[in-house]
Amino acid sequence: MTENNYLDSLNEEQRAAVVHEGSPLLILAGAGSGKTRVITTKIAYLIKEKNIDPWSILSVTFTKKAANEMRERAVAIDERAADAKIQTFHSFGAWFLRKYAEHAGLEPSFTVYDDDDVATLIKKAEPSLSTKEIRTAAHQISLAKDYCLTPEDDLSIIGSEFDLNDIYSKYQKRLRATGNADFGDLIMLPVQILEAYEEIADYIHNRFKVIMVDEYQDSNIAQYRLLQALSGVKQGSDTYVCVVGDDDQSIYKFRGAEVENILTFPEKFPGTEIIKLERNYRSTANILNAAGLVVKKNHHGSLEKTLVADREGGGKPVLAFLPDQNAEATFTADLVMKSLAGGAKYSDWAVMYRTNVQSRLFEIEFARRKIPYVVFGSLGFYEREEIKDALAYISFFANHKDEISFRRIINKPTRGIGDKTQDKLMASAVTLKGDGNPIFSDLLENIKNHKDSLSKKASEGASGFINLFDTLAGCFDENKPLSDFIERVIHDSGLDEYHKAVDEIEGTTRAQNLQELINSAVHYECTLDGLVKFLDTINLDRTMTEENEAIGDNYVTLITLHNTKGLEYNKVIITGLEEGVFPRMEKTGAELEEERRLFYVGITRARDELYVTSTAKRCLYGRWDFMRPSPFIKEAAEAFTVIGQAPFGFSVRKTSPYGQFGRDASAFSNTSDDTSEDDSLVSKWKKGTHVYHDDYGDGAVVAAYSNSGEYVIEVQFANGGKKKFLPKYQAKSLQVIKD
């Protein structure tokens, strides 16, 4: 591009955000408003027009996909943008800690422990914990680090049911002894270093003169503090800070995300200017109307913006009431198949749900109908046993203090070195530092020093293990790809034969997966540095991108609503809109508002068509339950065309013909379309009505809803009991008491 042509495609608000300079900037970007275009154009603009050294620009986001897209789009405008540091938060944290590993108490070649590794280390640090308690402790320690809290801090905000400070302390000492880090460390440790070492903070402030943060509403407390420390706002640094986000799309509280970060940004960064991007280029006006009706019901934590559709018209979203989850799956498959006759593709469709357990019936129905699909969020490539085994071998090669990798591989394949022997070897490797904290010595050297004290079988196994790593140490060759080294590791360790045997027994494809791991390392240099970069890529960028390549890219997407962030589809079906499913039963207050934002996110993924389903009954966790419609769909009912047997209290228009929606939703219900009798029941037996029962005495209707076509009321009696009735048939024993 020449001159300023790249700015011509921006609207007025987008351009204002791109050319803004000086004070801190909050870009409040609504769904589909072109925020990625703005932030990438701004990076290129600063380089191209303001002569900002790209080396001094830091831009962070939350996923590898987003970071890559930002880099590619900025480079397309000005190729010098390739020298800007555009990374995920955790990738940046890893870069920082490799640079200042000594200050963090880490090995320079440290590896990053995932959730399973953390759980294993907690078990070793506190053997008395049950499996459930270990998982709980792992989550709570991760949450503590998201809040930038240490074992010495008050952890009452976490709300643990056991002595979290003690468990966290033991885990942290064990983790530091390995010389490795977990994901929480990648944010918390840089914060601690920047706050403790003035000379490092000064260097960083001088290095990065522009800091930009994408999806700021998803940041946690530790990431907020990292932004403060990097920018030097407390020290009066002149670093330019720009954050982009949408408070209405803050849906990751369970991961530690704190919506207050974006709501209070103007307070924490004095002089902040706010620019709102409110023109939506993705969805039709009717879809956007539904989204607006949903999110406006939230009363806490909003910076007040109104999205305006650039695309007028479009069909009205459809709300389908169905008798059960089997009908829901059939209805969904019908929609997909009918659309194909009109020229649509499978890949136009996304089926969304609140929890993974809901995907099973869609998978069964799609397989029966030969509809290609991919379930996003299922077991990823790097989470498979054989891959984790191979990664443990090369992780231990990079860091001989890595306890988790050591325990995973020392007896796999079997070498006669069981858990008790491993515990003895680990105990002999511990030394105490001057402050009394433990640290592991080189575990490979420790085995060499103690193998003669082991049983004959274990000693022989230990010798083989030692020889393996001594041999591998001489296999690096910078003229070859890293894939050669990894292939040697897998072969010489015996993992290939071990998992081939499993393949023959279970009919799995483990050997093929190991070969795919080898293939993935072909672009890395066969050096220790290349190995560490390879591990970083894997450890930091494990996302839900594992796809079934056998069906190419033309498939229906099955995906949880949380995983849809940043995605868009031509046709969207949001399923399971029932109380207890979406929203979850336990959600109230701020948590309920986050659930509502999750619905908003799902709606705004749709470009052209939106369908929402709600069932009268559902089988979850092994039992059938009668369901009440989600309050969210009642809040936005006016935006939808309602089809099927609507529950009591909803205004219904005539069901639409098969040609428009696939099979007519009424085909899934045996109930009558005549609602006159139902309306009289609703009027007489509504919530709050005082009643008298011949057997139970005085009471009041506390709930009223449709159940498989029947009107049900729940009555709370003065004697403390609660009963359900079908007033259509049981009215003789009940009497309405006029107030």
Phi, psi of 59 (to 5 degrees): -130, 125
Bridge partners of residue 319, in order along the sequence: 612, 642
CB atoms within 10 A of CB 546: 18
- pLDDT at residue 648, rounded to an integer: 66
Q: Which two tokens stand for residue 373?
A: 């699909």
Q: Which of 360, 243, 436, 332 minimizes the C-alpha distance to 619?
A: 360
Across the beta sheet with 734-736, what order do the strands follow?
A: 722-725, 710-717, 697-707, 690-693, 734-736
Query: Cα angle vertex 571, ends 566, 573, to 5°?
Result: 90
338 Cβ partners below 8 Å, 6+ apart? 661, 662
- pLDDT > 70? residue 739: no
Helix (H) or strand (E) holding 326, with range, is: helix 325-341
555 Cβ partners below 8 Å, 6+ apart? 346, 347, 372, 373, 374, 548
Q: Which two tokens stand for residue 93?
A: 């944290």
Averaged pLDDT for residues 398-416: 92
Separation CA 67–CA 45 (nearest Å): 18
- pLDDT > 50? residue 546: no
User: Residue 177 annotated as binding?
Assistant: no
Report the range of poorest mean pLDDT among 159-163, 410-414, 636-640.
159-163
Residue 235 is a catalytic residue: no
Domain borders along the chain are: 12-100+186-277, 113-180, 308-380+549-643, 381-540, 679-736
Residue 605 is a catalytic residue: yes
Separation CA 274–CA 618 (nearest Å): 45
- Structure-derived torsion over alpha carbons of residues 45, 49, 54, 58, reported in degrees to the nearest 10: -40
Residue 99 is a catalytic residue: no
Q: Which two tokens stand for residue 685?
A: 């037996």
Q: Is 86 helix (H, G, I), strand (E, B) or coil?
A: strand
- pLDDT > 50? residue 61: yes
Phi, psi of 738 (to 5 degrees): -75, 130
Residue 135 is a catalytic residue: no
In CATH, the architecture of 381-540 is Orthogonal Bundle (1.10)
- pLDDT grade for 701, boundaries at 50, 70 and 90: confident
One-letter amino acid for residue 636 of the chain: A
Domain 12-100+186-277 class, CATH top level: alpha beta
Q: Which of 548, 222, 522 minimizes the C-alpha distance to 372?
A: 548
Q: Which two tokens stand for residue 46?
A: 């600063």
Token pair 């990823």: residue: 380
User: Residue 35 annotated as binding?
Assistant: yes
Separation CA 638–CA 652 (nearest Å): 10
- pLDDT at residue 348, rounded to an integer: 97
Residue 215 is a catalytic residue: yes
- pLDDT at residue 80, rounded to an integer: 96
Buried b (16+ CB within 10 A) or exposed e, 198-231: eebbeebbeebbbbbbbbbbbbbbbbbbbbbbbb
| CB contact at 8 A, 177 and 27 | no
- pLDDT grade for 539, boundaries at 50, 70 and 90: confident
User: Residue 31 annotated as binding?
Assistant: yes
Q: Which of 178, 193, 271, 254 minimizes the C-alpha distance to 225?
A: 193
Residue 355 is a catalytic residue: no
- pLDDT at residue 725, rounded to an integer: 84
Bridge partners of residue 211, in order along the sequence: 58, 241
CB atoms within 10 A of CB 48: 20
Backbone conformation region of residue 258, classed left if phi is above 0, alpha if psi is from -120 to 50, else beta: beta
List, for residues 219-244, the tens digit of each pLDDT value. 999 999 999 999 988 777 889 999 99
Sign of CA dihedral 557, 559, 563, 566: positive
- pLDDT > 70? residue 620: no
- pLDDT at residue 649, rounded to an integer: 60
Separation CA 572–CA 328 (nearest Å): 14
- pLDDT grade for 12, boundaries at 50, 70 and 90: very high
Mean pLDDT of the chain: 87
User: Residue 30 annotated as binding?
Assistant: yes
Query: Cα angle vertex 372, ends 370, 373, to 5°?
Result: 130
CB atoms within 10 A of CB 739: 6
| CB contact at 8 A, 309 and 282 | no
- pLDDT at residue 552, rounded to an integer: 65
Q: Active-site residue among 107, 214, 324, 609?
A: 214
Separation CA 607–CA 603 (nearest Å): 9
Separation CA 475–CA 601 (nearest Å): 50
Please spell the DSSP secondary structure of 101-170, one letter per residue.
HHHHT--TT--EE-HHHHHHHHHHH-TTS-HHHHHHHHHHHHHHHHTT--TTS--GGG--SS-HHHHHHH
Give the pTM. 0.75
Sign of CA dihedral 327, 328, 329, 333: positive
- pLDDT grade for 444, boundaries at 50, 70 and 90: very high
Q: Active-site residue among 178, 249, 358, 575?
A: 249
- Structure-derived torsion over alpha carbons of residues 596, 598, 604, 609, reported in degrees to the nearest 10: -90
Separation CA 257–CA 253 (nearest Å): 5
| CB contact at 8 A, 531 and 480 | no
Helix (H) or strand (E) holding 714, with range, is: strand 710-717
- pLDDT at residue 676, rounded to an integer: 44
Separation CA 629–CA 644 (nearest Å): 13
- pLDDT > 90? residue 706: no
Q: Which of 635, 558, 621, 555 minimizes the C-alpha distance to 592?
A: 635
Q: Which two tokens stand for residue 671?
A: 């109930």
Backbone conformation region of residue 51, classed left if phi is above 0, alpha if psi is from -120 to 50, else beta: left
Q: What secondary structure letter does DSSP report for 317?
A: P
Buried b (16+ CB within 10 A) or exposed e, 398-419: bbbbbbbbbbbbbbbeebbbee
Cis ω for the linkage preceding 583 (within 30 of 0): yes
Separation CA 44–CA 52 (nearest Å): 9
CA distances from 143 to 129, 157, 262, 281, 651 (A): 19, 10, 19, 36, 44
User: Residue 520 annotated as binding?
Assistant: no
Bridge partners of residue 295, in order along the sequence: none
Q: Active-site residue among 36, 120, 150, 192?
A: 36
- pLDDT at residue 302, rounded to an integer: 62
Q: Active-site residue among 13, 14, 15, 35?
A: 35
Q: Is 345 helix (H, G, I), strand (E, B) or coil?
A: coil
CB atoms within 10 A of CB 738: 5
Query: Cα angle vertex 185, ends 183, 190, to 5°?
Result: 130
Domain 679-736 class, CATH top level: mainly beta
User: Residue 17 annotated as binding?
Assistant: no
Q: What secondary structure letter does DSSP report for 314?
A: -
Q: Active-site residue among 215, 402, 487, 578?
A: 215
- pLDDT > 60? residue 54: yes
- pLDDT grade for 2, boundaries at 50, 70 and 90: very low
Token pair 């868009």: residue: 568
Averaged pLDDT for residues 415-440: 86
CATH superfamily entry for domain 308-380+549-643: P-loop containing nucleotide triphosphate hydrolases (3.40.50.300)
Separation CA 230–CA 241 (nearest Å): 10
Q: Is 181 helix (H, G, I), strand (E, B) or coil?
A: strand
- pLDDT at residue 512, rounded to an integer: 80
Please, where are the H alpha helices in 541-588? none
Q: Which of 89, 220, 214, 72 minimizes the C-alpha distance to 541?
A: 89
Higher-pLDDT residue of 38 and 681 is 38
Q: Which of 138, 127, 208, 217 minimizes the C-alpha distance to 172?
A: 138
List, for residues 447-498, the tens digit of each pLDDT value. 999 989 999 999 999 999 999 999 999 999 988 999 999 999 999 999 999 8
Q: Can 12-100+186-277 and 308-380+549-643 be said to share one CATH topology?
A: yes
| CB contact at 8 A, 167 and 126 | yes
Query: Cα angle vertex 263, ends 258, 268, to 5°?
Result: 95
User: Residue 93 annotated as binding?
Assistant: no
- pLDDT at residue 549, rounded to an integer: 41
- pLDDT > 90? residue 14: yes
Separation CA 190–CA 100 (nearest Å): 9
- pLDDT at residue 674, rounded to an integer: 38
Q: Active-site residue among 605, 607, 618, 628?
A: 605
User: Residue 33 annotated as binding?
Assistant: yes
- pLDDT > 60? residue 551: no
- pLDDT > 60? residue 211: yes
List, for residues 316-360, the tens digit of each pLDDT value. 999 999 999 999 999 999 999 999 989 999 999 999 999 877 887
Averaged pLDDT for residues 306-312: 86
